[in-house]
């Protein structure tokens, strides 16, 4: 789409509490917003978000800033022509365009989500000292979550096992699903060490383990997936795999149980749809998670996920419970109630539209 006035707004998102992962502690993260105004029609506006996680996103902050400046100077949004080398930039352009084409009402995918259908999500427990992780679990259970996802792999393994045992006692397997995400933190030169840890964790009735080993080790990952007593989900493994043949080769070789889709890290929603189709060829399931987007990107992914799962009789919980992480997030009618994310319709319609954020809060 051409004839646009495109503005880029940079914003540093501040975490309410330090977010611990196996790659370190996050206290803030960069995001950019693509604000596209149609000069040839009625002046409607579309907004997309470029969310970056330093050390994980393929784009560096300076490179993303440069690509976004080029996008703004072009006066056009054509995501299909954009390079997958810059997936977060492409996701921002794609969602800004979808927003714009939907006449700026912020619904993106008019359908079940904007009509009130909630999307089940997991509650996320960040890495910390065991006492804090147990407190996080208790809080999420009290808020009605029936699926919990825990970050593991950074603490001493015996301490993590002890912590998980305590949480499993609080959250029995017949009521609560536990997912684990190692971010490569269970990797070892001796694959038997990794498999032994997975065996011990399996005793706690674990639904899935995301990315137990560091990405890029396909033969080793194949062996882990084949012998693990816990179903393996690929997450970071998908980043940078942009060729269809290469994607198919990865999935056919490794045979994962699930793929985890972060649109900001894999090139957007169309690319996520492509991964879903390829995963289905090997019988792998999927769910989406955020790349720590603010409410703008989170809204886009939530609406896409609702649309993508609308025909499924059982919707696997998505990983979209990150909207409350930041002290300076943008206002939004996205709410989480009893483990489900939904739109607060009265708030969304207060100004006569289904806008999910206040533009003045972004531009101000």
Kindly report, as residue ranges, where domains of CATH 3.30.390.10 are found in the chain. 4-104
pTM attached to this predicted model: 0.91
Predicted pLDDT of residue 113? 57
Q: Could you please report the per-residue DSSP string of 192-254? A: HHHHHHHHHHHTT-EEEEE--S-TT-HHHHHHHHHH-SS-EEESGGGTT---HHHHHHHHHHH
3-state SS assignment for residue 71:
helix
Q: Which helix (H) or strand (E) holds 124?
A: strand 123-125
How does pLDDT run across 223-237, given as a tens digit for each residue? Answer: 999 999 999 999 999
Give the residue ranges of the chain where pLDDT is below 70.
Answer: 20-24, 41, 103-116, 311-314, 345-364
How far apart (Å, rounded) are the C-alpha atoms in residues 151 and 137? 12
DSSP 126-140: -B--HHHHHHHHHHH
Q: What is the CATH number of domain 4-104?
A: 3.30.390.10
CATH of domain 119-359: 3.20.20.120
pLDDT in tens, 12-46: 999 988 776 656 678 899 999 999 998 876 778 88
Tabulate helix, strand, coil % of the chain (nearest 5): 35, 25, 40
Domain with CATH 3.20.20.120 in the chain: 119-359
At 96 the three-state DSSP class reads helix
Report, as residue numbers or ranges, the catalytic residues.
Answer: 151, 262
The position carrying tokens 């393929």 is 58
């Amino acid at each position: 789409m051409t004839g646009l006035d495109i503005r880029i707004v940079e914003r540093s998102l501040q975490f309410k509490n330090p977010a611990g992962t196996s790659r370190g502690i996050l206290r803030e993260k960069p995001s950019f917003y693509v604000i596209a105004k149609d000069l040839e029609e009625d002046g409607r506006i579309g907004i997309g978000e470029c969310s970056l996680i330093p050390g994980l996103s393929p784009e560096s902050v300076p490179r993303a800033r440069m690509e976004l400046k080029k996008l703004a100077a072009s006066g056009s949004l054509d995501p299909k022509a954009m390079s997958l080398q810059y997936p977060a930039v492409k996701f921002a352009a794609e969602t800004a365009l979808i927003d714009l084409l939907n006449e700026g009402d912020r619904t993106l995918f008019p359908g079940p989500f904007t009509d009130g259908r909630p999307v089940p999500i997991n509650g996320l427990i960040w890495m910390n000292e065991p006492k804090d992780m147990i407190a996080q679990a208790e809080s999420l259970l009290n808020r009605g979550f029936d699926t919990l996802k825990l970050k593991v792999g950074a603490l001493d393994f015996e301490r993590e096992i002890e912590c998980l045992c305590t949480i499993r006692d609080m959250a029995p397997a017949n009521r609560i699903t536990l997912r684990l995400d190692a971010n490569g933190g269970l990797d070892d030169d001796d694959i038997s060490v990794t498999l032994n840890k997975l065996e011990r964790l399996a005793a706690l009735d674990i639904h899935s383990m995301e990315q137990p080993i560091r990405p890029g080790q396909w033969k080793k990952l194949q062996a882990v997936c084949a012998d693990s007593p816990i179903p393996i989900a690929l997450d970071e493994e998908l980043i940078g795999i942009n060729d269809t043949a290469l994607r198919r080769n990865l999935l056919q070789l490794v045979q994962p149980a699930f793929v985890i889709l972060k649109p900001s890290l894999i090139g957007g929603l169309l690319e996520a749809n492509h991964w879903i189709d390829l995963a289905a060829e090997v019988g792998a399931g999927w769910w989406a998670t955020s790349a720590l987007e603010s409410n703008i990107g989170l809204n886009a992914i939530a609406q896409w996920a609702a649309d993508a799962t609308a025909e499924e009789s059982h919707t696997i919980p998505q990983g979209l419970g990150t909207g409350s992480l930041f002290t300076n997030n943008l206002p939004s009618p996205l709410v989480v109630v009893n483990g489900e994310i939904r739109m607060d319709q009265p708030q969304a319609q207060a100004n006569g539209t289904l806008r999910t954020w206040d533009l003045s809060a972004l531009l101000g």
